Chain A
Amino acid sequence: MTAKIEFENSKKRIEHIEDVLSSVAAGDLDVRVETTIEDDLTGVEEAINILIEDLTYELKQSKKMREELEEKLSKIEEQQNTILRQQDDLLELSSPVTKVWDNILILPVIGTLDSQRAQIMMENLLHKIVETGCTISILDITGVPTVDTQVANHLLKTVTSARLLGADCIISGISPAIAQTIVHLGIDLSVIRTKATLQDAMIYSMRKNRQLVDGKIKTEHAENEEIEN
């Protein structure tokens, strides 16, 4: 009789253990195996409780670590974004387009030109042309030792695009090496105006400018002369 009761008890306790374990498996870490009787099964029950405690602790630790990692990751991402932004800023700073005279823009380029910088430079210059309404711009590349074909292509593209906007773009200071690259590209150079030095480009621009700005006065003058004759 007692054996049967004991057996029934054990069965109930094992069922209880099963319930607790399945709760834990489902994620509820607050449950514990409850026990009142001390016998052979008690050890198992206590061991399970200790295991649940350990598990709870480990889970908390790993959650904390994950949070820390995520925080670090987002910090790194933020830093990376800052670097990218600064790179962009730097690229923009390295192509300063300046209005030097009525109707004349200058973009002096110094240092090595890579494709990306050439691209940004081109966009900046074209935007500035539209913004200021200057019809003459000088792209001075005296400070650029060499260019690869891609960059040379960008330079030529800048000139052709400027023409499409309705502006002249003069390239000055072409080094022998760059001249070689440009000619090897096999692009029609008749549309591109080049000047030896920035000074030459400046003189040319001013003359052209006078023609543009004073054009009307000049034609009036010519008309007057015609009438006199």
Chain B
Amino acid sequence: MDEITFDNNWEQLGKYPIQTEHDIVKVRQLVRHYAKEARMGIVEQTRVTTAVSELFRNMYNYAGGGEVLIERGVVESKRALIVTCLDEGPGIEDLELAMKDGYTSGMGMGYGLPGTKRLVDRFEIQTKVGKGTTVRIMKWR
């Protein structure tokens, strides 16, 4: 998987901490707002909002919180809404297992990552045990 970089020419829409449950609700509503602004359809809006809600909760539950970066940019010549979640938690030991699709058998390891991946157009993850996890998702129209 490509490394997650931060020197992209994307327009930053905001940077928010996820420290409380209220933050989860507040920031996911902001993401929906930006999805609406990008003129995504109602189903697309719901998909991206749900996806970030899953990621925010992971940060809150497993890493004691983190930070969210919301950006807008052009990826593969498509206008994309980009959400990056950064935490300094324990990281994921077996990423392959965590990404294993549990479509019929439930939610895999409990991070819900395969389900989240299905909701977005691009899903990137980078994790280091003891250092933290960065997840970036992209959604385009």
Asked if chains A and B come from one complex, the reply is: yes
In the complex, the chain B residue whose C-beta lies closest to that of A126 is: B43
Q: Is B104 an interface residue (CB 8 A)?
A: yes
Of residues 162 through 191 on chain A, the ones whose CB sits less than 8 Å from some CB of chain B are: 186-188
Q: Mark B11-32, 1 if CB is under 8 A from A, else 0.
A: 0000000000000000000000
B104 & A188 in contact (Cβ 8 Å cutoff): yes
Chain B residues with Cβ below 8 Å from A187 are 104
Min Cβ gap B139→A in Å is 15
In the complex, the chain A residue whose C-beta lies closest to that of B103 is: A187
In the complex, the chain B residue whose C-beta lies closest to that of A153 is: B103
A186 & B104 in contact (Cβ 8 Å cutoff): yes
- Chain A at the B interface: SS class: loop
In the complex, the chain B residue whose C-beta lies closest to that of A127 is: B42
Q: Is A58 an interface residue (CB 8 A)?
A: no
Of residues 39 through 87 on chain B, the ones whose CB sits less than 8 Å from some CB of chain A are: 41, 43
Q: Is A123 an interface residue (CB 8 A)?
A: yes
Count residues of chain B with CB under 8 A from any CB of chain A.
3
Chain A residues with Cβ below 8 Å from B43 are 123
Of residues 97 through 141 on chain B, the ones whose CB sits less than 8 Å from some CB of chain A are: 104
Report the separation of the CA atoms of residues A26 and B74 in the bound assembly, to the nearest whole angstrom. 36
Report the separation of the CA atoms of residues A186 and B41 in the bound assembly, to the nearest whole angstrom. 30
Chain B residues with Cβ below 8 Å from A188 are 104
In the complex, the chain A residue whose C-beta lies closest to that of B41 is: A123
Report the separation of the CA atoms of residues A146 and B104 in the bound assembly, to the nearest whole angstrom. 24
Report the separation of the CA atoms of residues A186 and B103 in the bound assembly, to the nearest whole angstrom. 10
In the complex, the chain B residue whose C-beta lies closest to that of A188 is: B104
Report the separation of the CA atoms of residues A187 and B105 in the bound assembly, to the nearest whole angstrom. 11
Min Cβ gap A80→B in Å is 14
Report the separation of the CA atoms of residues A187 and B41 in the bound assembly, to the nearest whole angstrom. 28
Of residues 184 through 206 on chain A, the ones whose CB sits less than 8 Å from some CB of chain B are: 186-188
Report the separation of the CA atoms of residues A85 and B87 in the bound assembly, to the nearest whole angstrom. 41
Chain B residues with Cβ below 8 Å from A186 are 104
Report the separation of the CA atoms of residues A187 and B43 in the bound assembly, to the nearest whole angstrom. 23
Report the separation of the CA atoms of residues A187 and B104 in the bound assembly, to the nearest whole angstrom. 7
Min Cβ gap B101→A in Å is 11
Min Cβ gap A49→B in Å is 45
Min Cβ gap B131→A in Å is 36
Report the separation of the CA atoms of residues A188 and B104 in the bound assembly, to the nearest whole angstrom. 8
Q: Mark A99-134, 1 if CB is under 8 A from B, else 0.
A: 000000000000000000000000100000000000
Chain A residues with Cβ below 8 Å from B41 are 123
Report the separation of the CA atoms of residues A186 and B43 in the bound assembly, to the nearest whole angstrom. 26
Min Cβ gap A76→B in Å is 16
Min Cβ gap B2→A in Å is 24
Chain B residues with Cβ below 8 Å from A123 are 41, 43
In the complex, the chain A residue whose C-beta lies closest to that of B42 is: A123
Min Cβ gap A150→B in Å is 12
Q: Can you offer 5 A-B residue contacts whose CB atoms are under 8 A?
A: A123-B41, A123-B43, A186-B104, A187-B104, A188-B104
Residue positions of A touching B, CB distance < 8 A: 123, 186-188
Residue positions of B touching A, CB distance < 8 A: 41, 43, 104
The 5 closest A-B pairs by CB, nearest first: A123-B43, A188-B104, A187-B104, A186-B104, A123-B41
